Amino acid sequence: MPMTEEIYYDEDRNVIPKPIDTVKVLDAYNNELQSGDTVIAIKPLPVKKWTDIKQGEKFTKIKLTDDPELILAKHPKNGEIYLRTEFFKKA
């Protein structure tokens, strides 16, 4: 079996999947975010057809998405909302 980019062999010649490089999700100040973190808005943000986000407003228990620039959070008035990480800092 030829070596490929997806697999490699350990010392005993067992096939082991190559570890996948994970992309870090960073806030506006380059702090790493994890699922379940709390974030705070660093500036007021207008939201179309929903209640605007105020500076200092907290969002708890965020969820990471496939896009490192977006997180999913629950807003008390708007329900679930996607947020751009560039406008939030880790609490």
- Give the lowest-confidence range in 29-33, 46-50, 87-91: 46-50
Tell me what the mean pLDDT of segment 33-51 comes to.
Answer: 92
* Per-residue three-class SS string for the chain: CCCCCCEEECCCCCEEECCCCCCCCECCCCCECCCCCCEEECCCECCCCCCCECCCCEECCCEECCCCCEEEEEECCCEEEEEEHHHEEEC
The answer on pLDDT for 25 being more than 60 is yes
Question: Looking at residue 84, what is its pLDDT?
Answer: 95
pLDDT above 90 covers what percent of the chain?
54
Question: Looking at residue 49, what is its pLDDT?
Answer: 82
pTM across the whole model: 0.72
